[in-house]
């Protein structure tokens, strides 16, 4: 079958012209209102009538009136066209300034660590933008899921996405509770892991993830076993806190538990470094002002955090120089 490489003319072609003629009862006045020639109006109406299959106007040398078919067409077409104009205005407003609903797909573990610090200041700066956070361990398809952007660890982001760093690289550490480690000798190397209950992650693909550990200057994937499989880090860490087994998690989400000693890090010298956390979205040319505002806000917040992180070192350097 031969393919048609032209776009089919739509059912709305000529409708605006029809409405103008119906309003002004004149082809000439309709042409003036639309800024076209009377002959262009006549051609558009002829084409519309041919497509509809019925005459829509009664024309004389002195006036233009509607046929019964034209009256019925007008009764349906006018409110529908006005609704389309209103829809265009709504879309135009979203394209002109930061407003509307900003939907973000975020793993649950990253909401308190990365996203919550941004939300209060963003909401204050952009009150016309509503932020919806969909917290899920699944790797969301932004387009089919209706998301403006997502937040993920760098290794899980497709290469065709635009990515903005939100957090620096961090180690993926192995942790266990004091209760668990009191009854199981802490592993000293990856070779000890078969003797331990290791809590595992199921990826969105359905596969159970191996543990990735550092071996000198390279990383290796290690097959482990244990009593629990989950699809998110908070569940794995919660199980580790209860003494069910060892878990491999991003250090930032375990930081508080490490400080209060409810979790203990093991195999520290084998911890690999993850690329960090990124905001990602499909294409710079497709984003609306609401997402552009969030991207710029995140950039400013990251720059401010970097300045705070380097300020003490700068002051110390100056004291040493004097």
pLDDT digits 0-9 by tens, 80-91: 888 887 777 777
Between 251-259 and 233-241, two packed helices, what is the crossing angle to 10 degrees?
20
Whether 66 is covered by a domain: the verdict is yes
Final residue belonging to a domain, choices 94, 117, 135: 94
Residue 190 in this model has a pLDDT that exceeds 50 = yes
Q: Give the model's pLDDT for residue 193.
A: 95
Residue 322 in this model has a pLDDT that exceeds 50 = no
158 and 180 fall within a common domain? no
* Greatest extent of the chain over all pairs of C-alpha atoms, in Å: 102
User: What is the rounded CA–CA span in Å between residue 55 and residue 69?
Assistant: 7
Per-residue pLDDT reduced to its tens digit, 286-298: 678 899 999 998 8
162 and 175 fall within a common domain? no
Q: Give the model's pLDDT for residue 284.
A: 67
User: What is the rounded CA–CA span in Å between residue 18 and residue 193?
Assistant: 77
User: Could you give the number of structural domains in the chain?
Assistant: 3
Kindly calculate the radius of gyration of the chain based on its CA atoms and give it in whole angstroms: 31
179 and 247 fall within a common domain? yes
Whether 3 is covered by a domain: the verdict is no
Q: Give the model's pLDDT for residue 312.
A: 56
The strand pair at 129-135 and 273-274 is best described as: unpaired
The stretches of the chain forming alpha helices (DSSP H) are 15-24, 27-34, 38-52, 68-96, 110, 116-125, 142-145, 178-183, 233-241, 251-259, 289-321
264 and 288 fall within a common domain? no
Q: pTM (2 decimals)?
A: 0.63
User: What is the rounded CA–CA span in Å between residue 41 and residue 22?
Assistant: 12
Instruction: Look up the domain containing 79 and give its range.
Output: 15-94
164 and 288 fall within a common domain? yes
Q: Give the model's pLDDT for residue 267.
A: 94
Whether 315 is covered by a domain: the verdict is no
Residue predicted with more confidence, 229 or 301? 229
191 and 70 fall within a common domain? no
Q: Give the model's pLDDT for residue 309.
A: 64
258 and 280 fall within a common domain? no
106 and 243 fall within a common domain? no
223 and 260 fall within a common domain? yes
How far is CA 37 from each of CA 12, 32, 42, 48, rounded to the nearest angstrom? Answer: 20, 7, 9, 17
Residue 191 in this model has a pLDDT that exceeds 90 = yes
Strand partners, 193: none
Write out the two tokens for 2: 């031969």
**Which CATH number belongs to the domain containing residue 30 in this structure?**
1.10.10.10
120 and 71 fall within a common domain? no
Final residue belonging to a domain, choices 42, 75, 94: 94
80 and 214 fall within a common domain? no
Final residue belonging to a domain, choices 50, 66, 94: 94
Whether 305 is covered by a domain: the verdict is yes
291 and 259 fall within a common domain? no
**Which CATH number belongs to the domain containing residue 264 in this structure?**
3.40.190.290
């Amino acid at each position: 079958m031969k393919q048609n490489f032209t776009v089919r003319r739509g059912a709305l072609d000529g409708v605006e012209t029809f409405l103008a003629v119906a309003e002004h009862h004149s082809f000439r006045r309709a042409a003036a209102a639309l800024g076209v020639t009377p002959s262009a109006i006549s051609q558009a109406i002829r084409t519309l009538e041919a497509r509809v299959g019925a005459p829509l106007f009664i024309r004389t040398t002195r006036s233009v009136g509607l046929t019964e078919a034209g009256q019925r067409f007008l009764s349906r077409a006018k409110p529908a066209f006005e609704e389309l104009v209103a829809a265009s205005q709504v879309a135009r407003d979203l394209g002109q300034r930061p407003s509307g609903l900003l939907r973000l797909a975020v793993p649950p573990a990253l909401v308190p660590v990365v996203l919550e610090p941004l939300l209060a200041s963003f909401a204050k700066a952009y009150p016309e933008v509503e932020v919806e956070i969909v917290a899920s361990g699944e790797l969301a398809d932004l387009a089919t899921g209706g998301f403006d952007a997502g937040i993920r660890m760098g290794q899980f982001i497709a290469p065709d996405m635009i990515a903005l760093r939100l957090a620096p690289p961090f180690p993926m550490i192995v942790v266990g509770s004091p209760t668990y480690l009191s009854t199981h000798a802490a592993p000293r190397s990856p070779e000890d892991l078969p003797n331990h209950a290791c809590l595992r992650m199921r990826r969105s693909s359905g596969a159970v993830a191996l543990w990735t550990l550092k071996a000198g200057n390279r990383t290796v994937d290690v097959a482990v076993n244990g009593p629990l499989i989950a699809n998110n880090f908070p569940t794995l860490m919660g199980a580790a806190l209860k003494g069910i087994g060892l878990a491999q998690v991003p250090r930032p989400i375990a930081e508080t538990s490490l400080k209060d000693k409810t979790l203990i890090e093991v195999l520290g010298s084998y911890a690999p470094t993850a690329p960090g956390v990124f905001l990602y979205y499909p294409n710079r040319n497709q984003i609306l002002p609401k997402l552009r505002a969030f991207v710029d806000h995140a950039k400013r917040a990251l720059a401010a955090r970097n300045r705070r992180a380097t300020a003490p070192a700068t002051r110390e350097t100056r004291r040493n120089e004097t």
